[in-house]
């Protein structure tokens, strides 16, 4: 019953689609325009042709630093042989079909001159400059799956924590503000401890800030973990069920104690560890040390002991569950960016993924070096051939 309700709610979510994308002085592109319809998008071409750069441009239509977390300066087109920020203006403009009709969204950097260091990117909605980029969350959600994420379960906790925080941020952009405030107080406390001045009032103030923000961050992570589990645990066709557990000192305490009790406990913990933290730097524990544990449900084993292909299938299932969860939460589908989507997936899984995308009705942007690997999507997608710095629509 629950499943039937969810399926119908997801199928009622509207498709958000880019119907025109224009890049100016962006990465390897001088000027490039793509006209397309709301179906999925296939970008094929040789290595280094400029496929991922297009996905990155689309990722900037949502709030945040985009899928490569690049600085605004790195996004400007550099001339061959030049490794520094050219100081050039760059822009990404798009017409996006939203539930409220087409909206023109633009983002970029204005000319800074060679010595310019202006980092903040400007956002324009319907030609009007917005006060910040958070307004983008009113129009577009973006979810990505990148080749670098193939090692998510094998590498250290930092990447998994970032992945988890990105999931939370997708539902609640103010998560970034919470996390930044926590990290700011953590750095200030570390600086103060380093000076050796044991200014109790000042330290207590910073620890108070850390405690309240830590509880908010951990609670948001647990909430999103629980919401995603409902959709991820059963899997999707050949994409196995996943169980996500945000873990860490604060996350664990929240299982046993109330939020206020956890704040008190963490404040006491920080005060107790001042001497150690003064010696080692940073803070011994907190939400900056948390991790995300993922289990492969059918095999009942941790993700990291699964094969490369199994891990990719697990991660793909998690991305599909996240897409569904966003559709249920927002009533609209996110743009999906699937870079080198075929890598590590066998033919059946690749086909199943294309089917899932078409069933969801999401505009998925997919890249690959070989057009033939997308044959199953023929007549169901916008196909573009990408050659060094130029993109041509083929069907």
Ligand X SMILES: Nc1ncnc2c1ncn2[C@@H]1O[C@H](COP(=O)(O)OP(=O)(O)OP(=O)(O)O)[C@@H](O)[C@H]1O
By CB under 6 A, name the binding residues for ligand X.
27-28, 45, 47-53, 74, 76-78, 369
218 binds, among ligand X, Mg ion, none (CB under 5 to 8 A by kind): none
Residues 240 and 317: beta-carbon distance below 8 Å: yes
Q: How far is the CB of 140 from ligand X (least distance, A)?
A: 21
Query: What tokens does 344 get?
Result: 């590590």
Q: How far is the CB of 181 from ligand X (least distance, A)?
A: 32
Residues 380 and 41: beta-carbon distance below 8 Å: no
Residue 154 C-beta-side C-alpha neighbours within 13 Å: 11
Interactions with Mg ion, residue window 47-66 (CB under 5 A): 52
Q: 78 or 273, CB closer to ligand X?
A: 78
Q: How far is the CB of 251 from Mg ion (least distance, A)?
A: 34
From 6-14, 25-33, 46-54, 131-139, span contacting Mg ion (CB under 5 A): 46-54
CA-to-CA distance for 22 and 108, rounded, in angstroms? Answer: 11
Residues 14 and 94: beta-carbon distance below 8 Å: no
Q: 46 or 191, CB closer to ligand X?
A: 46
- The residue with its CB nearest to Mg ion is 52
166 binds, among ligand X, Mg ion, none (CB under 5 to 8 A by kind): none
The reply on whether position 24 binds Mg ion by CB under 5 A is no
Query: What tokens does 146 get?
Result: 């990148």
Q: 86 or 177, CB closer to ligand X?
A: 86
78 binds, among ligand X, Mg ion, none (CB under 5 to 8 A by kind): ligand X
- Count of residues that bind Mg ion according to CB under 5 A: 1
CA-to-CA distance for 384 and 395, rounded, in angstroms? Answer: 7
Q: 171 or 365, CB closer to ligand X?
A: 365
Helices 259-272 and 249-256 pack at an angle, to 10 degrees, of: 140
Q: How far is the CB of 340 from ligand X (least distance, A)?
A: 6
Q: How far is the CB of 59 from ligand X (least distance, A)?
A: 12
Q: How far is the CB of 119 from ligand X (least distance, A)?
A: 15
CA-to-CA distance for 351 and 57, rounded, in angstroms? Answer: 26
349 binds, among Mg ion, ligand X, none (CB under 5 to 8 A by kind): none
Q: 52 or 322, CB closer to Mg ion?
A: 52
Residues 173 and 258: beta-carbon distance below 8 Å: no
Q: Give strand pairing partners of 243.
A: 295
Residues 341 and 376: beta-carbon distance below 8 Å: no
CA-to-CA distance for 382 and 376, rounded, in angstroms? Answer: 13
Q: How far is the CB of 111 from ligand X (least distance, A)?
A: 15
Q: 68 or 274, CB closer to ligand X?
A: 68
Element (H, E) at 207: helix 200-232
Q: 10 or 391, CB closer to Mg ion?
A: 391
Q: 51 or 161, CB closer to ligand X?
A: 51
CA-to-CA distance for 360 and 132, rounded, in angstroms? Answer: 31
Residue 347 burial class via C-beta count within 10 angstroms: exposed 0-12, middle 13-18, buried 19 and up:
exposed
47 binds, among ligand X, Mg ion, none (CB under 5 to 8 A by kind): ligand X
Rg, C-alpha atoms of the chain: 22
Q: How far is the CB of 68 from ligand X (least distance, A)?
A: 9
Q: 53 or 229, CB closer to ligand X?
A: 53
Q: How far is the CB of 384 from Mg ion (least distance, A)?
A: 14
Q: How far is the CB of 53 from ligand X (least distance, A)?
A: 3
Listed residue (77, 98, 99) closest to 88, CA to CA:
77
53 binds, among ligand X, Mg ion, none (CB under 5 to 8 A by kind): ligand X
DSSP class per residue in 104-157 = EEEEEE----TT----PPEEEETTEEPSSGGGGGGT--EEEE-GGGGGTTTS-H
35 binds, among ligand X, Mg ion, none (CB under 5 to 8 A by kind): none
Q: Which residue is listed with tokens 């969810």?
A: 6
50 binds, among ligand X, Mg ion, none (CB under 5 to 8 A by kind): ligand X
Helices 174-195 and 200-232 pack at an angle, to 10 degrees, of: 150
Q: 84 or 300, CB closer to ligand X?
A: 84
Q: Is 394 left (phi over 0), alpha (psi -120 to 50) or beta?
A: alpha
Interacting residues with Mg ion (CB under 5 A): 52
């Amino acid at each position: 019953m629950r499943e039937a309700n969810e399926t119908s709610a997801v199928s009622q979510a509207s498709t958000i689609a880019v119907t025109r994308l224009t890049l100016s002085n962006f990465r390897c592109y001088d000027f490039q325009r793509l006209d397309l319809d709301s179906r999925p998008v296939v970008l094929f071409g040789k290595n280094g042709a400029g496929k991922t750069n297009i996905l990155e441009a689309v990722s900037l239509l949502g709030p945040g630093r985009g899928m490569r977390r690049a600085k605004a300066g790195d996004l400007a087109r550099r001339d061959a042989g030049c490794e520094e920020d050219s100081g050039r203006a760059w822009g990404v403009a798009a017409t996006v079909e939203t539930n409220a009709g087409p909206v023109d969204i633009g983002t970029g950097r204005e000319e800074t001159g060679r010595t310019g260091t202006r980092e903040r990117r400007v956002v324009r909605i319907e030609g009007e400059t917005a006060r910040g980029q958070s307004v983008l969350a009113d129009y577009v959600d973006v979810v990505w799956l990148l080749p670098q994420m193939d090692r998510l379960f094998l590498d250290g906790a930092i990447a998994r924590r970032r992945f988890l925080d990105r999931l939370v941020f997708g539902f609640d952009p103010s998560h970034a503000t919470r996390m930044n405030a926590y990290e700011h107080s953590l750095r200030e406390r570390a600086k103060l401890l380093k000076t050796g001045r044991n200014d109790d009032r000042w330290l207590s103030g910073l620890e108070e800030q850390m405690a309240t923000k830590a509880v908010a961050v951990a609670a948001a992570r647990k909430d999103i973990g629980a919401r995603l589990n409902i959709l991820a645990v059963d899997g999707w066709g050949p994409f196995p069920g996943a169980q996500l557990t945000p873990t860490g000192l604060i996350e664990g305490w929240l299982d046993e104690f109330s939020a206020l009790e956890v704040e008190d406990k963490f404040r006491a913990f920080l005060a107790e560890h001042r001497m150690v933290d003064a010696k080692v730097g940073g803070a011994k524990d907190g939400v900056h040390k948390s991790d995300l544990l993922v289990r492969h449900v059918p095999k009942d084993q941790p993700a990291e002991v699964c094969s490369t292909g199994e891990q990719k299938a697990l991660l793909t299932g998690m991305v599909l569950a996240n897409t569904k969860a966003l559709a249920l939460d927002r009533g609209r589908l996110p743009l999906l960016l699937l870079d080198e989507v075929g890598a590590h997936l066998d033919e059946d899984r690749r086909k199943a993924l294309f089917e899932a995308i078409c069933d969801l009705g999401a505009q998925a942007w997919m890249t690959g070096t070989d057009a033939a690997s997308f044959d199953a999507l023929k007549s169901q997608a916008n196909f573009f051939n990408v050659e060094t710095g130029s993109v041509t629509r083929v069907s």
